[in-house]
Chains A and B, each alone.
Chain A
Amino acid sequence: MEYTLMLLLLPLATFVLLGLFSNKLNHKTSGMIGTGSLLMVALLSFYAAGEYFTTQKVDAVFQTLVPLNVPWLNMGAKQHIDMGILLDPISVMMLVVISTVSLMVHIYSLGYMKGEKGFQRYYAFLSLFTFSMMGLVLSTNIFQMYIFWELVGVSSYLLIGFYYTKPAAVAASKKAFIVTRFADMFFLIGILVLSYYTQTFDFGTLTSGNSAVFQEAASAKFLGASALVWAMALIFIGGAGKSAMFPLHIWLPDAMEGPTPVSALIHAATMVVAGVYLVARLFPIYVLFTPEVLQGIAYVGAFTSMFAALIAIVQTDIKRVLAFSTISQIGFMMVALGVSKLEGHEGLGYMASMFHLFTHAMFKALLFLGAGSVIHAVHSNEMENMGGLRKQMPITHLTFLTACLAIAGIPPFSGFFSKDEILSATYQYNTGLGIWMTLVAALTAFYMFRLYFSIFWGKEKQHTHPLHESPKSMTFPLIFLAIPTLLGGFVPFGQFVTADRAPYSIHMDWLVAVISVVVALEAIFIARKLYQHPDKKPVVPAALKGFHKAASHRFYVDEVYLFITKKILFNGISRAFTWFDRHVVDGFINGLATATDWFSIRIRVFQSGEIQWYAWVFLFGTLLITALILFV
């Protein structure tokens, strides 16, 4: 399966081509090149997935395939960093997800970004992103994954800040990059600690379940926990930054300043799930050797889900609602991983998390693209400028409704199946956690339908120009993505992706299913009551006013960060260092210069220009040397 190398080289070549020749290509050509290249990538990845899932089974367990592994950097006797391609169930699944969503975004952008300045640059960056994300999922060792991790961060920065003349966009791109970079610092430390003790970077060795690899790591202790626990916890922090877990979630809502197709691709479907992918990739280590970290992951995910859902209820900007919804859903995925074990029925969480990743990518991309369609028509992001759009934009309306039903977990849409599995897994682990996640599911349904009803029902607003449905290039992806949203639940995912690679047939837990559906329907009806009617605007009851205010300010997390950085770091620490640098270090150098100056002024007298003075010095020197030679 060496042709999988083309999956990496094609987007890279497109990026280089479009990047270098952006001035000479016109919009249509660059769009065609970008989309065409991605079409080939998508077809290749479908073919690869087909080949892998049908032929790579040995004793009914999927094998890890490494078609390519080239040693790149040798560090010391045993450690070396390779560059290679790894194919196993989750990476092949991710290939399908990434290429499909990316292709849809490429097609969609032909219509959405039409006439924008920097069109070629946009497509070049999209290709760069695809290349980086492919590289990330196909990495054979953790260092290669780190390299592509950073590349993905860079692509995200470039794309969020695409409208670089807009200060809000620039600030948002900086924030995204800095927050994820800050998390990546911990990631790197974790990698280094892990590789120092285990003497390897390779995923195959690390995830083989062989405890001899981790003997030294598990025995070295630091502040009460073993080095292995520290390493895995730090690695998770890196993943948490990229996946916008609390408290590193602050960049994702701001990242909505980028163009909407970018938000669909990067911040809904692919990049933000990189953290989940990381935990899934290292899952054998987590579950066998550091179960306490895994428990921590579960709780972090659970808290983040609820936190984000509460904020999403009161947001008024479409994209912000979707952003917080993404954070919440990723929380679901993390929880699912956190409660999972390896074998058979207990490995349900792992499979459910990957399944939810797959379905979520599809319907979240659909939601974002649909929101983009609405924004494109109305020229505004705020919900108050929209209303009653179901008549003017039928295709958008129907596909958006499909996706909302999916995310709310209504059967037979795909979201029901994946979310149901997650809820079963959490109930299996801890009933309290199960109830908590069910509540979050209810809130999800509520805010999504609040969004749906506010946009497509309710009072029609005045617009400066008549609204019309979006062009075909934009509606085609919507329709295309609606298909997996609708039917994806029926894919026998357990046959393909499980924690121990053996097939697992999912059976429905009827109690959980019924409870979740009932709760979701209740939420939908409440939302309909509040938001569907054209005239009535819901009023916040006085008891909840403080809570409403806090939630609309996102619970002041940004303010806390600003306080810490500005008051404590900048004023407290940075000022001291600046003073030291300016007065001691610079002062020393300036002092040297001043001393030299002082000396030179004193010595200048020797060059007075007077002959007699020169002669005097000459004689003096001669006599001195003579005296020294004779008497000393």
Chain B
Amino acid sequence: MGELLINNAGVPVLAYQLVSLVMFFAGIYGFFTRRNLMMMLIAVELILNAADINFAVFNRYLFPGEMDGMFFALFTIAIAACETAVAIAIIINLYRNFGNADVDNLKNMKG
């Protein structure tokens, strides 16, 4: 069994995929479950990161000479930064209005 896991073949794509998969679904679980808005944001970051790993991995294994996947991951990181900034601004605003950062306060669209 040891030979199966540790050998001279290098890391298969599958392994990277599974790692990013677990990270992704952990993020989704957190998004559904968390009550605090900041914690939901943390989950969103996890999701984004999982996608980034995927891009980098596929780029490295399928197109070794190209850089497209890497640049995509780069830009995704930049965008994640912007989005986090704006989201935090909104959460601060909400905190000022409600006194806490609970997502249960946001029920205006209730049918």
Contact = CB atoms under 8 A, between A and B. Distances in A.
Interface of A: 604, 606-612, 615-616, 619
Given A612-B40, A619-B28, 11 more contacts: A607-B110, A608-B110, A609-B107, A609-B108, A609-B111, A610-B104, A610-B106, A610-B107, A611-B103, A611-B106, A612-B103
29 contacts: A604-B111, A606-B111, A607-B109, A607-B110, A607-B111, A608-B107, A608-B110, A608-B111, A609-B106, A609-B107, A609-B108, A609-B109, A609-B110, A609-B111, A610-B103, A610-B104, A610-B106, A610-B107, A611-B103, A611-B106, A612-B31, A612-B32, A612-B33, A612-B40, A612-B103, A615-B31, A615-B32, A616-B32, A619-B28
Contacts of A607: 109-111
B2 to A, nearest CB: 35
B95 to A, nearest CB: 17
Interface string B81-111: 0000000000000000000000110111111
Nearest to B34: A612
Nearest to B106: A611
B39 to A, nearest CB: 11
A609 B107 CA distance: 4
Using C-beta atoms within 8 Å of the partner chain, give the interface range for chain B.
10 to 19
A616 B28 CA distance: 9
Contacts of B103: 610-612
Contacts of B106: 609-611
B79 to A, nearest CB: 20
Contacts of B31: 612, 615
Nearest to A608: B110
Interface of B: 28, 31-33, 40, 103-104, 106-111
Contacts of A608: 107, 110-111
Contacts, number: 29
Contacts of A616: 32
A616 B106 CA distance: 16
A619 B106 CA distance: 20
Nearest to A606: B111
Contacts of A612: 31-33, 40, 103
A607 B31 CA distance: 18
A601 to B, nearest CB: 11
A281 B70 CA distance: 107
Among A604, A610, A611, which residue has the most Cβ atoms of chain B within 10 A?
A: A611
Nearest to A614: B109
Contacts of B110: 607-609
Nearest to A613: B32
B102 to A, nearest CB: 11
Instruction: Give 6 nearest A-B pairs by CB, closest first.
Output: A607-B111, A609-B110, A609-B107, A609-B109, A612-B32, A616-B32
A42 to B, nearest CB: 78
A233 B80 CA distance: 96
A615 to B, nearest CB: 6
A10 to B, nearest CB: 71
Contacts of A611: 103, 106
B28 to A, nearest CB: 7
Nearest to A607: B111
A371 to B, nearest CB: 77
Contacts of A606: 111
A615 B33 CA distance: 11
B88 to A, nearest CB: 17
Nearest to B109: A609
A520 B94 CA distance: 111
A615 B31 CA distance: 8
Nearest to A605: B111
A143 to B, nearest CB: 61
B28, B33, B109: residue with the most chain A Cβ atoms closer than 10 Å: B109
B15 to A, nearest CB: 23
Contacts of A619: 28
A611 B41 CA distance: 13
Nearest to A610: B107
A609 B111 CA distance: 7
Contacts of B111: 604, 606-609
Nearest to B33: A612
Contacts of B40: 612
A315 B57 CA distance: 116
Contacts of A610: 103-104, 106-107
B107 to A, nearest CB: 4
Contacts of B107: 608-610
Contacts of B28: 619
A337 to B, nearest CB: 78
Contacts of B33: 612
A615 B40 CA distance: 12
Contacts of A615: 31-32
A232 to B, nearest CB: 70
B37 to A, nearest CB: 10
Nearest to B31: A615
A396 B33 CA distance: 107
Nearest to B110: A609
A574 B111 CA distance: 45
B27 to A, nearest CB: 12
Nearest to B37: A611
B78 to A, nearest CB: 24
A599 to B, nearest CB: 14
A623 to B, nearest CB: 11
A604 B109 CA distance: 12
A607 B108 CA distance: 11
B75 to A, nearest CB: 25
A609 B106 CA distance: 7
Nearest to B28: A619
A622 to B, nearest CB: 11
Contacts of B108: 609
Which of B31, B33, B111: most chain A Cβ within 10 A? B111
A608 B109 CA distance: 8
A617 to B, nearest CB: 11
A86 to B, nearest CB: 73
A72 to B, nearest CB: 60
A619 B31 CA distance: 11
B66 to A, nearest CB: 29
A288 B28 CA distance: 99
B14 to A, nearest CB: 19
Contacts of A609: 106-111
A600 to B, nearest CB: 10
A619 B108 CA distance: 22
